[in-house]
Amino acid sequence: VSSHYHVQVTTFRTGNGAAWLDLLATLLGRYRDTQTDAIDSTESLRAWLRAHALEPVGSISMDDVARIQAAREAMHRAAVASVRGEQAQTDDVRLLDDALAADRTIRVRRDGTGLAIRRPASASEALARLVRDAVQDLSGPQRSHLRFCGDDDCSGIYLDHTGRRRWCSDDRCGNRMRVRAHRARARQP
Ligand SMILES: [Zn+2]
């Protein structure tokens, strides 16, 4: 194995089509009785941001964790409203608008044969980039491609440009629903 071989090991859910949609998936069991938050510490927030090329140069505080959790839930509610064709809540829009105040112009650097966007200075700036992507997706043409996961217990939301995708994760939610359907068929006389 080459010493240059590097795999970023991450337990976070990905594959929803945008970093901000992956962020929504960090609160597990949002529609269930008990929830598990994958972003509940400064370390886990840093790890999540790093996995999405958004690790800030500066330090991360528990206030940052609370801010990103609150913004995440506001983004989730706004996305749910958008997919349902309903109005977003005033408080959520205000919270997202406030988060955008930390946004700054992105800067570019060379990265091997390609280019990379420079890291955000702070956790607030990282959050602002996520919120910027969210409000652009929720206000532009991407909006019509947002879908709810086919598992009603799952709060996952994803971008689907094929029109054929049914689950936020085929491995997880798709399999679970197939097992459930199989059991239901097996129970029938
Ligand atoms: Zn799902």
Number of other CB atoms surrounding residue 20 within 10 Å: 26
Q: How close is the Cα of 152 to the center of ligand 1, in Å?
A: 8
- Distance from Cα 160 to the centre of ligand 1, integer Å: 13
Distance 44 CA to ligand 1 centre (A): 22
pLDDT band at 170 (very low <50, low <70, confident <90, very high): confident
Beta strands in 63-184 (DSSP E): 108-111, 114-117, 146-148, 157-159
Q: What is the pLDDT of residue 9?
A: 53
127 CA to middle of ligand 1, Å?
A: 23
Give the distance (Å) from ligand 1 centre to CA of residue 150. Answer: 7
Q: Note the pLDDT of residue 18.
A: 94
Q: 170 or 149: whose pLDDT is higher?
A: 149
Q: What is the pLDDT of residue 58?
A: 97
Of the listed ranges 7-16, 128-137, 151-160, 166-175, the one predicted with least confidence? 7-16
Cα separation, 85 vs 149, in Å, equals 16
Distance, CA 57 to ligand 1 centroid (Å)? 33
Mean pLDDT of the chain: 92
pLDDT category, 180, cuts 50, 70, 90? confident
**C-alpha of residue 171 to centroid of ligand 1, in Å:** 9
> Rounded to an integer, what distance in angstroms lies between the CA atom of residue 70 and that of residue 65?
9
If you ran DSSP here, which 8-state letter would residue 58 be given?
S
Note the pLDDT tens digit of each residue in 7-63. Answer: 455 678 888 999 999 999 999 999 999 999 999 999 999 999 999 999 999 999 999
* % residues pLDDT > 90 (the chain): 79
Q: Is the pLDDT of residue 118 over 60?
A: yes
Amino acid at position 158, single letter: Y
Q: How far is the CA of 175 from the centre of ligand 1 (A)?
A: 10
